Amino acid sequence: MDLIARGQPLPVSLQGRVVYYVGPVDAVGDEAVGPAGPTTATRMNKFVETLLSHTGLLAMIGKAERRPEAITAIRRHGAACLAATAVPPTC
């Protein structure tokens, strides 16, 4: 957000990309990265308009509700908001 506010390029292009809101999970054994489960998108609502209007972001994936202003921005920019669900492990 700071880079966008300063008019600087992002370290990676988000043009035509999808952002997956993922929670940090510890790696298991010798894995480089642990399981990548969805995390709550709600805390990202305040960034939706800026990201969509400045980056060409295509869609977002996460859990939980989107605020009305985030939904309005998603519709205005023709983006998509995909809802992920966490499935409990079966034993």
* Tens digit of each residue's pLDDT (9 = 90 or more) over 75-89: 999 999 998 876 666
> Are 61 and 21 a contacting pair, CB within 8 Å?
yes
Residue 1: DSSP 8-state: -
Residue 46: band (very low, low, confident or very high) from pLDDT cuts 50, 70, 90:
very high
pLDDT of residue 37: 79
C-alpha 7/C-alpha 15 separation (Å) is 16
- Write out the two tokens for 32: 């480089």
Segment 22-51 mean pLDDT: 86
Q: Which residue has the higher pLDDT, 31 or 68?
A: 68
Q: Which residue has the tokens 């994936």?
A: 61
